[in-house]
Amino acid sequence: MKKQATTAPRGFWARLFLWAKRGLCLVIGVFLLVQLWFFGWVLWWKWTPPEETRFMRLRLAELREKDPDAVLRHQWVDYARISRHLKRAVIVAEDARFIDHDGFDWAGIQKAIEKNQKKGRFVAGGSTLTQQLAKNLFLSPRRSLLRKGQEALIALMLEALWDKERIFEVYLNVIEWGDGVFGAEAAARHYYQTSAARLSSWQAARLAAMTPNPRYYDAHRKTAYLTDRTAAIHAQMPAARLPVARTED
C-alpha cells in the first residue's frame, strides 16, 4: 500500500499568515505610538523649558550609586541671557553649518565616515547640534543602529517644529558640561563663578572645547590638548554664524 505524503493543511498556513500579519500590525502600531510620544514632548518643549532629560536621569542615577544624596547642577536661562561668546564657541566646536542644514550635515557625516575608516575604529560621529539634542533629550549614549535611527527621526521632528534659535537655546541649557553639571548657567558658575551672560570669549572657548568629553575635562582641566583646542576655537569664533534671537538686536 502506497504511503500518502503528509502535508500541512491549508488552514495551518492561513492561520500562520494571519498571526504574522497581526504581529506586523502590532509592531507598526507600537512604533507609531512611540513616535507619537516623542512628538508630543517635542511639541510641548517648543514653549516649555525641559526640566529634565534622559541624559540627566542617567547621570543622576550613576552619581547616586556613589552618593545617595547627589544632585545635578542645572539652571535654565533664556537664549538672550547666554553670552554670545559661548554661542559662537559652541557653533565653531560642534556644528559650523548649524544655521544652514536641515538637521543633518551630510558633508560632515561623510568626513566622519572617512575618518573612522582611516582609523579603523569609531572616532567621529558627524552628529549635528540637532541630532545631539535629540539624543540628550530622549535617548542614551550607547551607540547602535537602532538608537541612531530613532535619533534621526527625533531630529526631523525638532527641525520641523522648532526654529534654529529654539533648538540652540535648549541645547545650550541641557548639554552635559561636567560631572553632574548641565547647561550653560551651571557650567559658568561651576568653572568660573560667573553667569552664562558674563562669560569672556576665552572662557567660552574653553567650555566649548570641553564638550566632547566634559566629565574627563572636569577632572583634567589643564591638559595640553584642551589648551590647544581652546585656542583653535577662539581664533574661529568671530566668523561663527548664529541664529538671530527674537530678544536680541
Residue-wise pLDDT for 60-94, tens only, equals 999 999 999 999 999 999 999 999 999 999 999 99
Is the CB of residue 177 less than 8 Å from the CB of residue 183? yes
Separation of alpha carbons 242 and 141, rounded Å: 27
Q: What is the pLDDT of residues 211-234, one digit of tens each?
A: 999 999 999 999 999 999 999 999
DSSP 146: H
Question: pLDDT grade, residue 12 (50/70/90)?
Answer: confident
Predicted confidence (pLDDT) at residue 248 exceeds the cutoff of 50: no
Q: Where are the domains of the chain?
A: 12-44, 45-239
Q: Render pLDDT for 139-168 as a digit per residue (tens, 0 to 9).
A: 988 888 888 999 999 999 999 999 999 999
Q: What is the pLDDT of residues 167-223, one digit of tens each?
A: 999 999 999 999 999 999 999 999 999 999 999 999 999 999 999 999 999 999 999
| Rg of the chain on CA atoms, in Å | 23
Residue 180, Ramachandran bin (φ over 0: left; ψ between -120 and 50: alpha; else beta):
left
Please provide the CATH number assigned to the domain covering 45-239: 1.10.3810.10
Question: 10 Å Cβ neighbour count for 113?
Answer: 13
Please provide residue 87's backbone torsions phi and psi, each rounded to the nearest 5 degrees: -60, -50
